[in-house]
Amino acid sequence: MLALYLRDIRLGLRAGGGAVTGVLFFLALVAVIPFGVGPDLNLLARIGPAILWIGALFSSLLGLDRLFQGDRDDGSLDLIVMADERRMLALSILVKCLAHWTTTALPLIVATPLLGLMMNMDATAVGVTTLTLLVGTPAIAFVGATGAAVAVALPRGGVLVSILVLPLVIPVLIFGVSAVDGAIGDPQPFMPPFLILIALTLFFAVLGPVAAAAALRSGTD
Partner 1 sequence: MRLIAENLAGERGGEPVFSGISFSLEETGALVVIGENGAGKSTLLRIVAGLLHPASGAVRLEGGGETWPDVAAASHYLGHENAMKPALTVGENLGYWRDFLGEQHLTVDEALDEVGLAGIGHLPFGYLSTGQRRRGAIARMLVSYRPLWLLDEPTSGLDARSARMFSALVNAHLGDGGIVVAATHVDLGLREAAQLELGPVPSPHGAG
Task: Write out the residues near partner 1 by the rule CB under 8 A.
Answer: 1-4, 6-7, 10-11, 14-16, 70, 73-76, 78-87, 220-221
CA–CA–CA angle 86, 89, 93 (5° rounding):
130
C-alpha to C-alpha distance for 119 and 48, rounded to whole angstroms: 5
CA torsion sign for 96, 3, 102, 64 is negative
Cα dihedral 98, 103, 105, 111 in deg (nearest 10) = 150
Instruction: Give the shortest CB-6-to-partner 1 separation in angstroms.
Output: 8
Say if residues 101 and 209 touch (Cβ distance below 8 Å): no
C-alpha to C-alpha distance for 79 and 184, rounded to whole angstroms: 49
Residue closer to partner 1 by CB (options 46, 87) is: 87
Residue closer to partner 1 by CB (options 124, 220) is: 220
Q: Quote the crossing angle between the two packed helices 89-118 and 191-219, to the nearest 10°.
A: 140
Instruction: Give the shortest CB-110-to-partner 1 separation in angstroms.
Output: 23
Residue 191 corresponds to which amino acid? M
Instruction: Give the shortest CB-199-to-partner 1 separation in angstroms.
Output: 32
Residue closer to partner 1 by CB (options 12, 116) is: 12
Instruction: Give the shortest CB-155-to-partner 1 separation in angstroms.
Output: 16
Residue closer to partner 1 by CB (options 85, 186) is: 85
Residue closer to partner 1 by CB (options 124, 218) is: 218
Instruction: Give the shortest CB-84-to-partner 1 separation in angstroms.
Output: 7
